[in-house]
Structure 1
Amino acid sequence: MTEERVTRFPGKTDRPLTSARIPLYSVDAIAGVVEVYEQISDNEPIAYLEIPNLPKCDGAIYVVGDSMYPLLKSGDIIIYKVLHDINNILWGEMYLLSIVNNGDAYVTVKYVKKSDIPGYVTLVSYNEHHQPKDFPIESIRFAAHVKASVRINSMG
């Protein structure tokens, strides 16, 4: 059995992305939840994060609530990549979601799993005190894959 040798010829622009500036947005500055991405991207970032070797990301926001506790705590920062086509969802992964269902609007961070109900998704919290909930897939107005999180353990 012979071993093939592969040679790579990098182009002028091929270089490893060691660090990128990721805009950190304030959720408080968002007027509504229906068009979360447009509202986030229309606002000025409150800061920028630079984290080495992070995959390409679109932004970061602070976590509010305890549905993903203890994995994510209120005040942690999540870094996300916007999902432009809901059909490309990676089942079982964590997403930042904006959902409008029966006149109620939610912005949440959950694991997204396939539902037993056709045309629905099951949103699952890490916190065992929060029950899984099924939503129609068309009620998802915005989805962003959570790529990383940052926790600050000391304020001084």
Structure 2
Amino acid sequence: MDKSLILNRLKNIKNFATDTELANFLNISRSTLSNWYARNSIDYDLLFSKCENNVDINWLLTGNGYNVKNESNVLAEPIESSRKTKDPIYELQRVPVFNLEATMGLVPLVDGNGVDEEKVIDYISIPSMPSCDGAIYASGDSMYPLLKSGDMIAYKRIAVERAQIFFGEMYIVAVKLDDFSTMKTVKFVHQSELGDEYIRLVSHNQHHTPKDVKLSQIAAIGLVRASIRLHN
């Protein structure tokens, strides 16, 4: 068994952006966590003790079933799929729609225990949609005509790490402007010619110039899983 999958599931459900945050949660050093990855080993007793209150252990070990005990936003079990990606598709899930203007990043959950209702403006349910953490409304024309302002975008948050990014895919990216604010943008994420410390944000609208930003400038990033367009 690839035990890094277990650690990555825990990192994602807790919304940890770095391995350092995961190590702090487990109350171990960053070097100990690195050794777990390198040696494909885990202290299961420690792991289970940290997760027993809210994270479903069967899901943590296998990726099957509910991810959080008594989770309210998933209404059905995963269904079988021939998709290449490994994350589950649910027959029906309740995805929160967030107002993210006042937040530092894409932070839909509170310590894995539930949704921060103060940031939720609605919920959506779409049959057979891949697992999503939340949804927001698009603004601007940088992805036009693929996305229009007002379209709803559902996303799955990932760790801000180069190894977690599927280059060429569409992401919601929260770029830090200063210590107190971020700019949320929807872009294709490509590799940058400036080196591994950077990523290139590319618009679908050719009138918008691509921009290279440092990974350290990214407060949060989410893979776009679905979009909804309303025709009035």
TM-score w.r.t. structure 2 length?
0.55
Q: Quote the Cα distance in structure 2 between the aligned partners of 1:111 and 1:124.
A: 5
Map of 1:25 onto structure 2? 98
What is the aligned residue count?
139
Q: Quote the Cα distance in structure 2 between the aligned partners of 1:39 and 1:56.
A: 14
Q: Quote the Cα distance in structure 1 between the aligned partners of 2:209 and 2:231.
A: 28
Map of 1:94 onto structure 2? 170
SS in 2 for 1:92: coil
Q: Check 1:100–1:153 CA distance in 2 against 1; reply closer, same or farther (3 A cut).
A: same
Q: Quote the Cα distance in structure 2 between the aligned partners of 1:122 and 1:85.
A: 14
Q: Percent identity?
A: 40
Q: Check 1:132–1:85 CA distance in 2 against 1; reply closer, same or farther (3 A cut).
A: closer
Which residue type is aligned with residue 176 of structure 2? V
Higher relative contact order (CA 8 A, sep 6+): 1
1:25 deviation in Å? Answer: 1.4
Bigger share in strand: 1
Provide Cα deviations, 1:87-122, integer angstroms capped at 9, x if missing partner.
301101111111125778421000000001111111
Map of 2:183 onto structure 1? 106
Q: Is the 8 A contact 1:92 1:111 kept in 2?
A: yes
SS in 2 for 1:134: strand
Structure 1: segments with no counterpart, 5+ residues: 1-12
SS in 2 for 1:46: strand
Q: Check 1:116–1:18 CA distance in 2 against 1; reply closer, same or farther (3 A cut).
A: same
Q: Quote the Cα distance in structure 2 between the aligned partners of 1:18 and 1:116.
A: 41
TM-score w.r.t. structure 1 length?
0.79
SS in 1 for 2:212: strand
Q: Is the 8 A contact 1:115 1:121 kept in 2?
A: yes
Map of 2:223 onto structure 1? 145
SS in 1 for 2:216: helix
Q: Check 1:122–1:152 CA distance in 2 against 1; reply closer, same or farther (3 A cut).
A: same
Q: Quote the Cα distance in structure 2 between the aligned partners of 1:148 and 1:45.
A: 18
Which residue type is aligned with residue 191 of structure 2? K
Mapping of residues 1-156 of structure 1, within 5 Å: 16=79, 17-27=90-100, 30-32=101-103, 34-37=104-107, 42=116, 43-86=118-161, 87-100=163-176, 105-118=182-195, 119-154=197-232
Structure 2: segments with no counterpart, 5+ residues: 1-64, 66-76, 80-89
SS in 1 for 2:124: strand
Provide Cα deviations, 1:111-150, integer angstroms capped at 9, x if missing partner.
0000011111110000010011111111111000000000
Q: Quote the Cα distance in structure 2 between the aligned partners of 1:111 and 1:26.
A: 22
Q: Quote the Cα distance in structure 2 between the aligned partners of 1:102 and 1:49.
A: 32
1:26 deviation in Å? Answer: 2.2
* Structural RMSD (CA): 2.3
